[in-house]
Structure 1
Amino acid sequence: MNNYSINPNLGACWKPNDKKPDFILNSKDTGCLTHINLSHLYNLSKKLGFKIFINTRHGDYIIKGDEIAFLYFDEVINQNTQEIEKICAQIYETIVIDAQRSFEQDPRFGFIVLSEVAQKALSPAINDPGTAFSVLNLITRLLIENYDSQNKDKAYSYDRIGLQEINTGDFITQSIDAIARDEASNVEVALRVQKTLFAIYKNSENEILKEVSKIQAKKIYRQKLECAC
């Protein structure tokens, strides 16, 4: 999370600003986007004369044929030649799509794994709410921590590459929501979920996290009332 706070888009800071792309890259594989070699891609963009906006994010599930990137050439290029195919082939080598997600460039995956630990602990076979409490405590700390903003000037700046931003609300919806669903009739865990969401709302400096925590707290509370009826 510290790396994400310093470099939320991994240094990919270019924006197309609604400009129409010269060429669209479609995925050749099915799976999860696990890694982008941004350094190599940036060197390619300078050498071959293009800018690129990657229309997906690490952890996203991609199906063969999906649009994954938009190309913008520095100069007019003849799309009927093999030149563009050679450029695309080199770009594909920098983008890894695999069957399994990876923690390296995918902060959302970490929250999902934490949630799965809590869900397993709350299963009838294990019935260990203490572990769920520990997970919720850790999620709270990760989302309200004030990370070292002084290091932000050390972030890489790839000014020819754009990358789809992560919806930071996913850190909540993909972790705490599942715990709230699986805690069923455990009142103590239900209360801890609400306390967790309130703590994020009260202490987080991220406006999206604050708004999503408020929305999800109300949603979970309404669901519990409906189940009680």
Structure 2
Amino acid sequence: MLTERFRFLLNRLRDRLWVKPLALCLLSIAVAFVAKFADGTDLAKFTPAVSRDSIEALLSIMASSMLVIATFSVSSMVSAYASAANTATPRSFTLVVADDASQNALSTFVGAFIFSIVALTAVKNQYFEKAGLFILFVLTAFIFGMVVVTFVRWVDRIARLGRMGTTIDKVEQATAAALKRRCKAPNLCGVPLSSQAGAKTGQPLVCATKVGYVQYIDMAALQSWAEQNQARVVIAALPGAFATPDKTLAYVIAESVEHTKIDCTAVAGAFQISGSRLFDDDPRFGLVVLSEIAGRALSPAVNDPGTAICIVGTLVRLFTLWSEPVEEQQPPKYDRVEVPELSVRDMFDDAFTAIARDGAGVVEVAVRLQKAFGSLAASGDADIRQAADYHRGLALKRSRMALDLSEDMQAVEDASKYANKPTESADRK
């Protein structure tokens, strides 16, 4: 029951740039003193003698160079973060910051610097004997080699970090991961809404105590509270919903008259609310971010329809992933918590409305949208097929109002007619 909570907290630590460098700094200090344990063993009889001056020289080179490289890596990462926010969308910043390769590189450089400073100070104060000096030399050579390999790999990664293609890939991966988790647990491991959940009159309402977005729902805490109070909790605000004190987060259904007056403070506390949306449990946020990237590319200042076309292909992949059958769907673990499923129509609105509006006057984008809707309409999922048909007609209306050249409009209509054929054949089946 603590797995999901632990995953949420772990992902929040990944978003903090200082966590890994701090951990590596503490580890490097411990490694610097590991060599001292060799002095109390018989290892000195078998180890060759290593000059103290050679170790000091190697550590001095590492100490001076690692500080420069660490400073350079920080400046390069900041430039990449700014590039991702300016070229794509500021909402992609958290994904770029959480890049493992960049964090590992910065942690390695800072850890090597701290190791060299601590080890150099210990060597100059005659802290190590013969065996300790040999082990310290081996550790120094190993760390130096690790730094070289990390730097070479990091140079290739930092050259791509913050670029449009890399940012789109990161958003797609985060959205696909959230979609897969939701496919396996469409009700967040709770149970679907019952008929009783629709009769909300007279039921205790649980409202937000502050303004923000729902980031995470502690289903285990809600289940525990419901069992103690002999009640059922009906979720009204999924992760990603904007919460205000006048909006309902959940409804409480008491199982008996004696439990109608119960304290629902713990129910509100199970909703993690903050000022920004997260990708983890909010698949719609990833679709919104991809739509924002396409919208910026279609703006007159950027005028990059190719990026918008790339985003349309990405959205088709994501919705195709959503429509695929799930082999290992998680059984409900929280039988007292009722959770609504994601609305496919809302997901289509998040993904395609802005692109269809801003790209209505760009013939290549309008044609690609019609083809994309045709592909999605051929899906075996009835909800996706209906949403695709609706947005295909809506996009066609927008193009008729935006396109002035009859030949361009004819191309869009031809694409729409061609895309309509798979749906007709699927309906006949």
TM bucket normalised to smaller: 0.7 to 0.9
Fraction of identical pairs, as percent: 26
One-letter amino acid matched to 2:398? Q
Partner of 2:12: none
Check 1:218–1:43 CA distance in 2 against 1; reply closer, same or farther (3 A cut).
same
CA 1:208/1:65 → structure 2, altered by over 3 Å: closer, same or farther?
same
Q: Write the deviation string for residues 104-141 of structure 1: whole angstroms up to 9, x where unpaired.
A: 21111110001111111222222222211221111101
Instruction: Indicate if the aligned counterparts of 1:201 and 1:211 stay in contact, CA closer than 8 A.
Output: yes
Paired residue type of 1:10 = L
1:24 matches 2:202? no
Does residue 150 in structure 1 map to residue 327 in structure 2? yes
2:257 match: 76
- Check conservation: 2:193, 2:340, Cα contact below 8 A: no
**How far apart in 2 are the matches of 1:15 and 1:137?**
33
Structure 2 unmatched runs, 5+ = 1-178, 405-429
Question: Given the alignment of the two structures, is residue 205 of structure 1 paired with residue 380 of structure 2, yes or no?
Answer: yes
Q: 1:200 to 1:79 in 2, by over 3 A?
A: closer
Q: Taking structure 1 as reference, are residues 64 and 102 closer, same or farther at Cα in structure 2, changes over 3 Å only?
A: same
CA 1:188–1:93: 2 relative to 1, 3 Å: same
CA distance in 1, matches of 2:397, 2:380: 26
Corresponding residue for 1:221?
A: 396
Shift of 1:47: 2.6
Q: TM-score, normalised by structure 2?
A: 0.49
Shift of 1:155: 4.0
How big is each residue's C-alpha offset from its partner over 1:75-105, in whole Å with a ceiling of 9 and x where there is no partner? 333656xxx22xx121121112222111121
Aligned match for 1:110, one of 286, 297, 322: 286
SS of aligned partner of 2:189: coil
Contact 2:191 2:332 in 1 (8 A): no
Count how many residue pairs are aligned between Structure 1 and Structure 2: 222
2:360–2:398 Cα contact (<8 Å) kept: no
1:72–1:184 CA distance, 2 compared to 1 (3 A):
closer
Higher share in helix: 2
Letter in 1 for 2:364: E
Q: Residues 27-42 of structure 1: matches in 2 within 5 Å?
A: 27-42=208-223
Asked if structure 2 preserves the Cα contact closer than 8 Å seen for 1:52 and 1:161, the reply is: yes
Q: Distance in 1 between matches of 2:221 and 2:293?
A: 36
**2: CA distance, partners of 1:109 / 1:123:** 21
**1:126 aligned counterpart, secondary structure:** coil
Pairwise CA distance, 1:184: 4.3
Matched residue type, 1:105: D
Structure 1 residue runs of 5 or longer lacking an equivalent are: none
TM-score (normalizing by structure 1): 0.87
Separation of aligned partners in 2, 1:26 and 1:115 = 30
Structure 2 counterpart SS, 1:175: helix
Residue pair 1:119, 1:182 contacting (<8 A) in 2 also: yes
Q: What one-letter code is carried by the residue in structure 2 that aligns with 1:95?
A: F
Matched, 1:168 2:168: no
User: Residues of 1 paired with 2:347 and 2:386: CA distance?
Assistant: 12
Q: How much does 1:14 deviate?
A: 4.8
Does residue 47 of structure 1 match 2:228? Answer: yes
Q: Is the 8 Å Cα contact of residues 30 and 63 (structure 1) preserved in structure 2?
A: yes
Q: Distance in 2 between matches of 1:180 and 1:23?
A: 41
- Secondary structure of the structure 2 residue equivalent to 1:149: coil
Contact 1:25 1:67 in 2 (8 A): yes
- 1:182 aligns to 2:332 (yes or no): no
The alpha carbon displacement at 1:226 in A equals 2.5
Residues 148-192 of structure 1: CA distance to partner in whole angstroms, max 9, x if unpaired?
A: 62111x344321001233211122111112111112422111111
Q: Is the 8 A contact 2:231 2:254 kept in 1?
A: yes
- In structure 2, the residue matched to 1:96 is 272
Residue 64 of structure 1 aligns with an amino acid whose one-letter code is P
Which amino acid in structure 1 is aligned with residue 381 of structure 2? N
